[in-house]
Structure 1
Amino acid sequence: MGFLNLSKKGIAIALSAQMVLATQAVTMAQAEMLGTDAAISKYTALANRNALMDEMQRDEVRAEIEALGVDPAEAEARLAALSDAEIATMLTQMENDSAGADIVGTLFTIFVILLVTDLLCFTRFFNFTRCVR
Protein backbone atom coordinates (compact mmCIF):
# COMPACT_ATOMS: atom_id res chain seq x y z
CA MET A 1 0.00 0.00 0.00
CA GLY A 2 2.83 2.38 0.79
CA PHE A 3 4.42 1.82 -2.60
CA LEU A 4 1.13 2.57 -4.41
CA ASN A 5 0.70 5.88 -2.55
CA LEU A 6 4.32 6.77 -3.21
CA SER A 7 3.95 6.10 -6.94
CA LYS A 8 0.70 8.13 -7.12
CA LYS A 9 2.42 11.06 -5.43
CA GLY A 10 5.40 10.79 -7.74
CA ILE A 11 3.20 10.69 -10.85
CA ALA A 12 1.13 13.64 -9.56
CA ILE A 13 4.27 15.69 -8.86
CA ALA A 14 5.75 14.81 -12.26
CA LEU A 15 2.53 15.71 -14.10
CA SER A 16 2.18 18.95 -12.13
CA ALA A 17 5.76 19.93 -12.96
CA GLN A 18 5.20 19.12 -16.61
CA MET A 19 1.98 21.18 -16.64
CA VAL A 20 3.72 24.16 -15.03
CA LEU A 21 6.62 24.00 -17.46
CA ALA A 22 4.31 23.61 -20.47
CA THR A 23 2.19 26.61 -19.53
CA GLN A 24 5.26 28.71 -18.72
CA ALA A 25 6.67 28.20 -22.22
CA VAL A 26 3.38 29.08 -23.89
CA THR A 27 2.68 32.25 -21.93
CA MET A 28 6.14 33.76 -22.31
CA ALA A 29 5.91 36.67 -24.73
CA GLN A 30 8.60 37.31 -27.28
CA ALA A 31 8.92 41.06 -27.61
CA GLU A 32 11.33 43.01 -29.73
CA MET A 33 11.62 46.51 -31.00
CA LEU A 34 9.94 47.11 -34.34
CA GLY A 35 11.47 49.86 -36.41
CA THR A 36 9.41 52.40 -38.28
CA ASP A 37 10.78 51.26 -41.63
CA ALA A 38 9.80 47.65 -40.96
CA ALA A 39 6.29 48.63 -39.89
CA ILE A 40 5.79 50.90 -42.89
CA SER A 41 7.10 48.32 -45.36
CA LYS A 42 4.84 45.67 -43.85
CA TYR A 43 1.73 47.80 -44.25
CA THR A 44 2.80 49.10 -47.65
CA ALA A 45 3.21 45.54 -48.90
CA LEU A 46 -0.23 44.67 -47.53
CA ALA A 47 -1.78 47.73 -49.19
CA ASN A 48 -0.08 46.89 -52.51
CA ARG A 49 -1.38 43.32 -52.38
CA ASN A 50 -4.91 44.57 -51.61
CA ALA A 51 -4.72 47.09 -54.47
CA LEU A 52 -3.86 44.35 -56.97
CA MET A 53 -6.60 42.10 -55.61
CA ASP A 54 -9.07 44.98 -56.00
CA GLU A 55 -7.98 45.40 -59.61
CA MET A 56 -8.59 41.69 -60.17
CA GLN A 57 -12.18 42.12 -58.93
CA ARG A 58 -13.06 44.72 -61.57
CA ASP A 59 -15.43 43.50 -64.29
CA GLU A 60 -13.26 44.74 -67.16
CA VAL A 61 -10.19 42.95 -65.84
CA ARG A 62 -12.11 39.72 -65.22
CA ALA A 63 -13.57 39.84 -68.73
CA GLU A 64 -10.12 40.35 -70.24
CA ILE A 65 -8.64 37.52 -68.18
CA GLU A 66 -11.41 35.17 -69.27
CA ALA A 67 -10.99 36.30 -72.90
CA LEU A 68 -7.33 35.29 -72.68
CA GLY A 69 -8.41 31.83 -71.47
CA VAL A 70 -7.23 32.15 -67.87
CA ASP A 71 -9.38 31.09 -64.95
CA PRO A 72 -9.86 34.13 -62.65
CA ALA A 73 -9.59 31.97 -59.53
CA GLU A 74 -6.24 30.63 -60.72
CA ALA A 75 -5.04 34.16 -61.50
CA GLU A 76 -5.99 35.27 -57.99
CA ALA A 77 -4.19 32.28 -56.48
CA ARG A 78 -1.05 33.10 -58.44
CA LEU A 79 -1.33 36.75 -57.43
CA ALA A 80 -1.57 35.71 -53.79
CA ALA A 81 1.59 33.61 -54.20
CA LEU A 82 3.71 36.54 -55.41
CA SER A 83 6.34 38.03 -53.13
CA ASP A 84 6.10 41.61 -51.87
CA ALA A 85 8.89 42.75 -54.19
CA GLU A 86 7.14 41.25 -57.23
CA ILE A 87 3.88 42.96 -56.32
CA ALA A 88 5.65 46.30 -55.90
CA THR A 89 7.29 45.83 -59.31
CA MET A 90 3.92 45.05 -60.91
CA LEU A 91 2.30 48.14 -59.40
CA THR A 92 5.17 50.36 -60.55
CA GLN A 93 4.94 48.92 -64.04
CA MET A 94 1.15 49.43 -64.09
CA GLU A 95 1.55 53.08 -63.07
CA ASN A 96 4.26 53.77 -65.66
CA ASP A 97 2.62 51.93 -68.56
CA SER A 98 -0.93 53.22 -68.29
CA ALA A 99 -2.22 54.69 -71.54
CA GLY A 100 -2.75 58.44 -71.60
CA ALA A 101 -1.42 58.98 -68.11
CA ASP A 102 1.08 61.68 -69.09
CA ILE A 103 -1.29 64.11 -70.79
CA VAL A 104 0.66 67.18 -69.61
CA GLY A 105 3.86 65.88 -71.19
CA THR A 106 2.04 65.11 -74.41
CA LEU A 107 0.49 68.58 -74.60
CA PHE A 108 3.85 70.23 -73.86
CA THR A 109 5.52 68.21 -76.63
CA ILE A 110 2.85 69.24 -79.14
CA PHE A 111 3.23 72.89 -78.07
CA VAL A 112 7.01 72.79 -78.57
CA ILE A 113 6.69 71.14 -82.00
CA LEU A 114 4.16 73.76 -83.16
CA LEU A 115 6.30 76.56 -81.77
CA VAL A 116 9.43 75.34 -83.58
CA THR A 117 7.56 74.87 -86.87
CA ASP A 118 6.16 78.40 -86.54
CA LEU A 119 9.63 79.81 -85.90
CA LEU A 120 10.99 77.97 -88.94
CA CYS A 121 8.10 79.32 -91.08
CA PHE A 122 6.65 75.89 -91.82
CA THR A 123 3.32 76.69 -90.17
CA ARG A 124 1.53 79.78 -88.88
CA PHE A 125 -0.25 78.47 -85.78
CA PHE A 126 0.68 81.04 -83.11
CA ASN A 127 0.26 84.81 -83.64
CA PHE A 128 3.03 85.74 -81.22
CA THR A 129 5.85 84.12 -83.24
CA ARG A 130 7.94 85.59 -86.05
CA CYS A 131 9.67 83.69 -88.80
CA VAL A 132 13.44 83.46 -88.48
CA ARG A 133 14.20 84.10 -92.19
Structure 2
Amino acid sequence: MKATTLAVLVSFGSTFVAAPASAALISTEQSVGAHTVDRAHIKQFFDRADVAKILESKGVTPEMAKARVDSMTDAEAQQLAQKIDTAPAGAGIIEVAFTVFVILLITDILGFTRVFSFTRPVR
Protein backbone atom coordinates (compact mmCIF):
# COMPACT_ATOMS: atom_id res chain seq x y z
CA MET A 1 0.00 0.00 0.00
CA LYS A 2 2.81 2.39 0.90
CA ALA A 3 4.60 1.64 -2.38
CA THR A 4 1.45 2.38 -4.40
CA THR A 5 0.84 5.61 -2.49
CA LEU A 6 4.43 6.69 -3.02
CA ALA A 7 4.26 5.87 -6.74
CA VAL A 8 1.06 7.91 -7.14
CA LEU A 9 2.52 10.86 -5.24
CA VAL A 10 5.69 10.82 -7.34
CA SER A 11 3.74 10.63 -10.59
CA PHE A 12 1.45 13.50 -9.59
CA GLY A 13 4.35 15.53 -8.28
CA SER A 14 6.31 15.19 -11.49
CA THR A 15 3.41 16.53 -13.58
CA PHE A 16 3.65 19.90 -11.86
CA VAL A 17 7.33 20.45 -12.58
CA ALA A 18 7.47 23.39 -14.95
CA ALA A 19 9.87 23.31 -17.83
CA PRO A 20 11.92 26.46 -18.27
CA ALA A 21 10.44 28.80 -20.85
CA SER A 22 12.29 31.20 -23.05
CA ALA A 23 10.75 34.25 -24.64
CA ALA A 24 12.25 37.27 -26.27
CA LEU A 25 10.70 40.53 -27.24
CA ILE A 26 10.74 41.49 -30.89
CA SER A 27 10.15 44.89 -32.34
CA THR A 28 7.20 45.81 -34.49
CA GLU A 29 9.56 46.39 -37.40
CA GLN A 30 10.88 42.84 -37.12
CA SER A 31 7.36 41.41 -36.98
CA VAL A 32 5.99 43.46 -39.86
CA GLY A 33 9.18 43.26 -41.92
CA ALA A 34 8.75 39.61 -42.94
CA HIS A 35 5.16 40.16 -44.05
CA THR A 36 6.08 43.27 -46.01
CA VAL A 37 8.80 41.32 -47.82
CA ASP A 38 6.30 38.60 -48.79
CA ARG A 39 3.82 41.11 -50.20
CA ALA A 40 6.54 43.06 -52.03
CA HIS A 41 7.84 39.81 -53.54
CA ILE A 42 4.36 38.90 -54.82
CA LYS A 43 3.80 42.38 -56.24
CA GLN A 44 7.14 42.21 -58.08
CA PHE A 45 5.98 38.92 -59.56
CA PHE A 46 2.86 40.63 -60.96
CA ASP A 47 5.06 43.30 -62.58
CA ARG A 48 6.59 40.70 -64.90
CA ALA A 49 5.31 40.99 -68.48
CA ASP A 50 4.59 37.27 -68.90
CA VAL A 51 2.60 37.09 -65.67
CA ALA A 52 0.68 40.28 -66.49
CA LYS A 53 -0.20 38.83 -69.90
CA ILE A 54 -1.58 35.63 -68.34
CA LEU A 55 -3.56 37.57 -65.74
CA GLU A 56 -5.01 39.89 -68.37
CA SER A 57 -6.07 36.88 -70.45
CA LYS A 58 -8.13 35.85 -67.41
CA GLY A 59 -9.64 39.35 -67.11
CA VAL A 60 -7.49 40.52 -64.19
CA THR A 61 -5.16 43.51 -64.38
CA PRO A 62 -1.91 43.49 -62.40
CA GLU A 63 -3.28 46.41 -60.35
CA MET A 64 -6.32 44.35 -59.36
CA ALA A 65 -4.07 41.47 -58.34
CA LYS A 66 -1.84 43.81 -56.30
CA ALA A 67 -4.89 45.24 -54.56
CA ARG A 68 -5.93 41.70 -53.66
CA VAL A 69 -2.45 41.03 -52.26
CA ASP A 70 -2.92 44.01 -49.95
CA SER A 71 -6.17 42.54 -48.64
CA MET A 72 -4.76 39.03 -48.10
CA THR A 73 -4.11 37.74 -44.63
CA ASP A 74 -0.49 37.30 -43.63
CA ALA A 75 -0.81 33.52 -43.90
CA GLU A 76 -2.24 33.73 -47.44
CA ALA A 77 0.49 36.13 -48.55
CA GLN A 78 3.20 33.94 -47.06
CA GLN A 79 1.74 30.83 -48.72
CA LEU A 80 1.53 32.51 -52.13
CA ALA A 81 5.07 33.92 -51.81
CA GLN A 82 6.31 30.43 -50.96
CA LYS A 83 4.55 28.98 -54.01
CA ILE A 84 6.19 31.61 -56.20
CA ASP A 85 9.60 30.72 -54.77
CA THR A 86 9.16 26.96 -55.16
CA ALA A 87 7.45 26.98 -58.55
CA PRO A 88 9.58 25.60 -61.37
CA ALA A 89 10.86 28.13 -63.88
CA GLY A 90 8.66 28.59 -66.93
CA ALA A 91 5.82 26.15 -66.36
CA GLY A 92 5.28 27.36 -62.79
CA ILE A 93 4.06 30.75 -63.99
CA ILE A 94 0.82 29.23 -65.21
CA GLU A 95 0.30 27.42 -61.91
CA VAL A 96 0.90 30.57 -59.86
CA ALA A 97 -1.34 32.64 -62.14
CA PHE A 98 -4.02 29.97 -61.81
CA THR A 99 -3.62 30.03 -58.01
CA VAL A 100 -4.06 33.80 -58.00
CA PHE A 101 -7.09 33.46 -60.27
CA VAL A 102 -8.69 30.89 -57.95
CA ILE A 103 -8.01 33.06 -54.87
CA LEU A 104 -9.56 36.07 -56.59
CA LEU A 105 -12.53 33.97 -57.72
CA ILE A 106 -13.16 32.61 -54.23
CA THR A 107 -12.93 36.04 -52.62
CA ASP A 108 -15.35 37.36 -55.24
CA ILE A 109 -17.85 34.61 -54.51
CA LEU A 110 -17.53 35.23 -50.76
CA GLY A 111 -18.14 38.93 -51.36
CA PHE A 112 -14.77 40.24 -50.14
CA THR A 113 -13.74 41.63 -53.53
CA ARG A 114 -15.45 42.57 -56.78
CA VAL A 115 -12.97 41.64 -59.52
CA PHE A 116 -14.99 39.47 -61.89
CA SER A 117 -18.33 40.53 -63.36
CA PHE A 118 -19.53 36.94 -63.86
CA THR A 119 -19.64 36.08 -60.12
CA ARG A 120 -22.40 36.74 -57.66
CA PRO A 121 -21.51 37.16 -54.00
CA VAL A 122 -23.03 34.77 -51.51
CA ARG A 123 -23.90 37.54 -49.05
Q: TM-score range by the shorter chain?
A: 0.3 to 0.5
* Larger relative contact order (CA 8 Å, sep ≥ 6): 2
Structure having the higher Rg: 1
Q: What TM-score comes out, normalization by structure 2 length?
A: 0.46
Taking structure 1 as the reference length, the TM-score comes to 0.43
